[in-house]
Chains A and B, each alone.
Chain A
Amino acid sequence: MKKPLLGGLRWLVFALAVVILNFPVIATLVTSLKSDAEIMTNASLIIEAPTLDNYVAVFAMADRFDILHFLGNSLVASLIGSVLAIAIAFPAAYAMARLEVGRSWLLPLAVNLRAVPLIIFAIPIYLMYQQVGLLDTRFGLALIFCLVNVPLVLVLFASSIADLPLEIEEAGRVDGAGTLRLLVYVVAPMSLNVVAASSVLAFIYSWNEFLFGLMLTTNNATPVSVGASFFFAASGGGVRWGVAAAVMILATLPPLVLGLLMYRQIGRSMTAGAVKG
């Protein structure tokens, strides 16, 4: 810290790492701000004539491909899918961690289901959705997102709940709380950091889900992961890289904003002062 040269070197290394790790994102951002002509002639990261034309073009296509509609679908389905997954996994994880419900087999089973390629479920789910009218609906998509998210959220909650000081829950029981009120008043507030972390992860997984978005939606509920691909050949004559890059940047923003909002919660300790450390 005392030597400026060492400090400078350290920042150089950090900057280099940031550039290398984020190169695809940076390249996409830069491309989205170049004109079609410049994309062909100038491959460097320095933009000669920055322009928002590509973004204008994306919104101008709303009559054929409505980016806001796709974003809206993704947002609604991802939010419902994440919240639902947390609502289901939290009590389940408590039952596993504290009430010894299937501790030795239920968690591994749920987690291993996640390891199975999702395509295996594709046909039965399609047929079921057809029967109950969930095809091409945001809620149908949300249910799938929930299914995809539950195993991960379950693992996160099961381990975090197991790490909470048991005495606090015992105090809660002696103070008159049954299991449900214990969950609501004591365990859930102490798990807010994990709720934040798992909701960000679940939202991102939902947002990036492609397979079921492609299969189960046609028009009304198309998520942005699928919708973005429509823009690549939007003009008919070859890929419009600038437009495609602008769509990708727009599609990246919501999870990015959510991550930044939740970031402060994630690293926080929720049990400070509860028990002697």
Chain B
Amino acid sequence: MAEIEFKSVAKSFGKVGVIADLDLKVDDGEFIVFVGPSGCGKSTALRMIAGLEETTSGDIQIRGRSIAGLAPSERNVAMVFQSYALYPHMTVAGNIGFPLKMAGRPAAEIAAQVREAADILDLGPYLDRRPAQLSGGQRQRVALGRAIVRHPDVFLFDEPLSNLDADLRVSMRGEIMRLRERIQATMIYVTHDQTEAMTMGDRIAVFAPLKDGHARNLMQVGTPEALYERPANLFVARFLGSPKMNLIEMDQGQAPAFGTLDLGPRPPHGGALLLGVRPEDIRIAEAGVPGLAGRIRLVEALGAEYYVHIETAAGELIVRVMDKRLRPAPGDTVALQPAAGAFHLFDKATGERIGG
């Protein structure tokens, strides 16, 4: 168990800055997810903890102790890679036992530990096989076994499920969560998949790429609910949620298209504003009812719900419809009513959230 702290960490490869001004504290025993689009530095941050990359400036501490200059082996961290990264010439038992062998443990202890890890991961019957003889899911379980057998302070996961197909991804997600209950260790999980982030993390840290003009990577840290319900900026608002949040340009601080929209008390603001409304927070009513008038352009039927694309004076909006009785059809004219209080305001220039 260990807490990890990034202190003003920056990292650049040559002249290209990848991480800037990263301050983040991961609590002891916490499961935190680093999420963001490709190139946002989330994997680099993870690799700096593992010792596979050095920081350019700033400091990373585990248990209050700087890990600068320590070899990966001296950090007591375990890492699970996206590509499994198994040793192809060793058996499953050899793979799982390798860290213990490197630590110079006696053979009998290694065998016992490997057996225990294999039991946890249902790998018992495969101990004598080579990685090439295993399925993708089994391979990733071997990689998990190799990580847990060492009882490390910190588990690092670098997109461990990205190479698996959809079914397997869901079941492996469950497997990692079960593992998490069994093993009390700090876990950092990197993914670009917002579903994994929302379902697995105690907290989520949203990263943005510096190359897109952001001054720092870390956009917001918090519980999944907090991030979804109160995104701190446009980047987080756009990144979390599927379909994406609707963003409507406001004129003179008003959203005239929505008619009688009560934005509630808010601090006076000079610049241009964007109004954000999540697709599930808009209700479709019959035409003629007060609200934003629109015409249905496209209906995506997903079985349990519909995504309805509607052309309005405020641009095209997406509405998520759960009510099965409603049968929206392309060409219908409708009125849109936002749920009371379910909107977000952002400064268009800075992207920051305004008000509560």
Tell whether, in the assembled complex, residue B50 and residue A174 are in contact, meaning their CB atoms are under 8 Å apart: yes
Residue-wise, chain B 66-92 has the 8 Å CB interface mask toward A (1 for contact) of 000001110001110111111111100
Tell whether, in the assembled complex, residue B163 and residue A276 are in contact, meaning their CB atoms are under 8 Å apart: yes
Kindly provide the distance from the CB of B270 to the nearest chain A CB, expressed in whole angstroms.
Answer: 50
Give every chain B residue within 8 A of A181 (Cβ-Cβ). Answer: 102
Known contacts A167-B81, A174-B79, A177-B102: does B73 contact A270 (CB below 8 Å)? Answer: no
B136 interfacial by beta-carbon distance below 8 Å: yes
20 A-B interface contacts by CB (under 8 A): A165-B85, A167-B81, A167-B83, A170-B72, A171-B86, A173-B73, A174-B50, A175-B73, A175-B99, A175-B150, A177-B102, A178-B73, A185-B98, A190-B89, A272-B131, A273-B88, A274-B131, A275-B83, A275-B86, A276-B84
Partner of A189, one of B71, B82, B89, B143: B89
Query: How far is it, in angstroms, between the C-alpha of A165 and the C-alpha of B143 when the chains are bound?
Result: 15
Question: Which residues 40-88 of A sit at the B interface, judged by CB distance below 8 A?
Answer: none
Where the two chains meet, the residues of A that have a C-beta atom closer than 8 Å to any C-beta of B are 165, 167-168, 170-178, 181, 185-186, 189-190, 192, 270-276
Partner of B134, one of A173, A175, A186, A273: A273
Q: Give the top 8 A-B pairs by smallest Cβ distance, nearest first.
A: A273-B132, A273-B131, A176-B102, A275-B83, A167-B85, A274-B88, A176-B73, A189-B89
Name the residue on B nearest A164 (C-beta).
Answer: B88
Give every chain B residue within 8 A of A178 (Cβ-Cβ). Answer: 71, 73
Tell whether, in the assembled complex, residue B71 and residue A173 are in contact, meaning their CB atoms are under 8 Å apart: yes
Name the residue on B nearest A182 (C-beta).
Answer: B102
Tell whether, in the assembled complex, residue A170 and residue B85 are in contact, meaning their CB atoms are under 8 Å apart: yes
Known contacts A168-B87, A173-B52, A186-B87: does B81 contact A272 (CB below 8 Å)? Answer: no
Tell whether, in the assembled complex, residue B102 and residue A275 are in contact, meaning their CB atoms are under 8 Å apart: no
Q: How many residues of B contact A (CB 8 A)?
A: 34
Tell whether, in the assembled complex, residue B84 and residue A274 are in contact, meaning their CB atoms are under 8 Å apart: yes
Tell whether, in the assembled complex, residue A174 and residue B136 are in contact, meaning their CB atoms are under 8 Å apart: no
Residue-wise, chain B 125-153 has the 8 Å CB interface mask toward A (1 for contact) of 00000111110100100010010001000
Give every chain A residue within 8 A of B82 (Cβ-Cβ). Answer: 167, 276
Query: How far is it, in angstroms, between the C-alpha of A273 and the C-alpha of B136 when the chains are bound?
Result: 9
Tell whether, in the assembled complex, residue A271 and residue B88 are in contact, meaning their CB atoms are under 8 Å apart: yes
Interface centre among B81, B85, B130 (most CB of A within 10 A): B85
B103 interfacial by beta-carbon distance below 8 Å: yes
Tell whether, in the assembled complex, residue A273 and residue B78 are in contact, meaning their CB atoms are under 8 Å apart: no
Tell whether, in the assembled complex, residue B86 and residue A273 are in contact, meaning their CB atoms are under 8 Å apart: yes
Query: How far is it, in angstroms, between the C-alpha of A173 and the C-alpha of B156 when the chains are bound?
Result: 14
Kindly provide the distance from the CB of B299 to the nearest chain A CB, expressed in whole angstroms.
Answer: 37
Kindly provide the distance from the CB of A49 to the nearest chain B CB, expressed in whole angstroms.
Answer: 54
A-B Cβ contacts below 8 A, count: 94
Give every chain A residue within 8 A of B72 (Cβ-Cβ). Answer: 170, 173-174, 176
Query: How far is it, in angstroms, between the C-alpha of A271 and the C-alpha of B71 when the chains are bound?
Result: 26
Name the residue on B nearest A189 (C-beta).
Answer: B89
Give every chain B residue within 8 A of A272 (Cβ-Cβ). Answer: 88, 131-132
Query: How far is it, in angstroms, between the C-alpha of A175 and the C-alpha of B77 when the chains are bound?
Result: 8
Give every chain A residue within 8 A of B139 (Cβ-Cβ). Answer: 273
Kindly provide the distance from the CB of B30 to the nearest chain A CB, expressed in whole angstroms.
Answer: 20
Query: How far is it, in angstroms, between the C-alpha of A165 and the C-alpha of B87 when the chains are bound?
Result: 11
Kindly provide the distance from the CB of A189 to the nearest chain B CB, expressed in whole angstroms.
Answer: 4
Partner of B86, one of A176, A185, A274: A274
Query: How far is it, in angstroms, between the C-alpha of A186 and the C-alpha of B89 when the chains are bound?
Result: 8
Name the residue on B nearest A177 (C-beta).
Answer: B102
Tell whether, in the assembled complex, residue B81 and residue A270 are in contact, meaning their CB atoms are under 8 Å apart: no
Tell whether, in the assembled complex, residue B87 and residue A173 are in contact, meaning their CB atoms are under 8 Å apart: no
Name the residue on B nearest A175 (C-beta).
Answer: B99
Give every chain B residue within 8 A of A185 (Cβ-Cβ). Answer: 87, 98
Kindly provide the distance from the CB of A56 to the nearest chain B CB, expressed in whole angstroms.
Answer: 48
Query: How far is it, in angstroms, between the C-alpha of A185 and the C-alpha of B100 when the chains are bound?
Result: 13
Query: How far is it, in angstroms, between the C-alpha of A4 and the C-alpha of B134 when the chains are bound?
Result: 41
B51 interfacial by beta-carbon distance below 8 Å: yes
Kindly provide the distance from the CB of B168 to the nearest chain A CB, expressed in whole angstroms.
Answer: 12
Tell whether, in the assembled complex, residue A174 and residue B52 are in contact, meaning their CB atoms are under 8 Å apart: yes
Query: How far is it, in angstroms, between the C-alpha of A94 and the C-alpha of B150 when the chains are bound?
Result: 28
Query: How far is it, in angstroms, between the C-alpha of A177 and the C-alpha of B52 when the chains are bound?
Result: 13
Interface centre among B83, B143, B150 (most CB of A within 10 A): B83
Known contacts A173-B72, A174-B52, A174-B77: does B85 contact A275 (CB below 8 Å)? Answer: yes
Give every chain A residue within 8 A of B83 (Cβ-Cβ). Answer: 165, 167, 275-276
Partner of A177, one of B73, B84, B136: B73
Kindly provide the distance from the CB of B95 to the nearest chain A CB, expressed in whole angstroms.
Answer: 9
Tell whether, in the assembled complex, residue B99 and residue A170 are in contact, meaning their CB atoms are under 8 Å apart: no
Kindly provide the distance from the CB of B276 to the nearest chain A CB, expressed in whole angstroms.
Answer: 37
Tell whether, in the assembled complex, residue A273 and residue B52 are in contact, meaning their CB atoms are under 8 Å apart: no
Query: How far is it, in angstroms, between the C-alpha of A186 and the C-alpha of B95 when the chains are bound?
Result: 11
Question: Which residues 13-34 of B sit at the A interface, judged by CB distance below 8 A?
Answer: none
Query: How far is it, in angstroms, between the C-alpha of A171 and the C-alpha of B98 when the chains are bound?
Result: 10
Give every chain B residue within 8 A of A175 (Cβ-Cβ). Answer: 73, 78, 98-99, 102, 146, 150
Question: Which residues 230-277 of B sit at the A interface, judged by CB distance below 8 A?
Answer: none
Query: How far is it, in angstroms, between the C-alpha of A168 and the C-alpha of B133 when the chains are bound?
Result: 18
